[in-house]
């Protein structure tokens, strides 16, 4: 049985009621899928089979949670509301081991889809350049080229910083600073970035 010491620590630090539930789930997962790999993601125990996440578990102050990762297992979660709010081992269905085996089979088949697959981020619209900032960039071709080459988020930071200025004096000062830093390909918060 391959285990991850971080999960030992996670279970040990869990609420007293949660420890036996988490230990039971962990043991059940290893029995249902002997090749399972343990890992921690987002501060919670995850279990992977054949490089695919099959499930995760978590302990909270008053309940535990268990989820299958693959959307193909959603039917199982609908059958048993207890997966989201487990307060005792008896809240788990008797078929739990079979469900975990089913999730491992889906992962092994290579047909498992990620729950993140359907999510597409809409790109944020470009913010309009303040006319004074556009004029300063027109005078400094190096800064204009560097700003254009920046990733969208970095460009947005500078433009928003200038657009949010409350006074003309503040805006002018920010524009001068921005043009200088942009020409050096520095981000707005370059002073705080680790070197």
- Spatial strand order in the sheet of 64-68: 37-41, 44-49, 52-59, 64-68
DSSP class of 126: P
pLDDT in tens, 32-68: 999 899 999 989 999 988 788 888 999 999 999 998 8
Q: Which residue has the tokens 């085996």?
A: 101
Domain ranges in the chain are: 5-109, 131-192
Residue 163 has pLDDT above 70, yes or no: yes
Pick the CATH number of 5-109 from 3.90.1150.200, 3.40.50.720, 3.10.20.880, 3.40.50.300: 3.90.1150.200
pLDDT (average), residues 16-31: 94
In the structure, what pLDDT confidence band is assigned to residue 93 with cuts at 50, 70 and 90? Answer: confident
> What's the sign of the alpha-carbon dihedral 108, 112, 115, 118?
positive
Mean pLDDT value across the chain: 86
In the structure, what pLDDT confidence band is assigned to residue 81 with cuts at 50, 70 and 90? Answer: very low
């Amino acid at each position: 049985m391959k285990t991850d010491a971080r999960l030992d620590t996670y279970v040990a630090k869990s609420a007293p009621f949660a420890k036996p539930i988490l230990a039971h789930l962990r043991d059940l997962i290893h029995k249902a899928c002997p090749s399972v790999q343990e890992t921690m993601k987002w501060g919670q125990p995850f279990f992977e089979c054949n490089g695919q996440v099959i499930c995760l578990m978590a302990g909270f102050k008053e309940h535990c949670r268990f989820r299958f990762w693959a959307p193909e297992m959603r039917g199982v979660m609908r059958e048993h509301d207890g997966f989201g709010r487990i307060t005792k081992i008896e809240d788990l269905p008797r078929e739990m081991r079979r469900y975990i085996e089913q999730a491992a089979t889906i992962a092994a088949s290579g047909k498992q889809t990620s729950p993140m697959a359907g999510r597409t981020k809409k790109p944020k619209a470009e913010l309009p350049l303040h006319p004074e900032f556009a004029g300063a960039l027109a005078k400094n071709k190096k800064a204009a080229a560097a700003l254009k080459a920046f990733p969208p988020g970095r460009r947005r930071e500078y433009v928003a910083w200038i657009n949010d200025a409350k006074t003309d004096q503040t805006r002018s000062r920010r524009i001068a600073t921005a043009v200088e830093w942009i020409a050096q390909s520095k981000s707005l918060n370059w002073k705080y970035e680790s070197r």
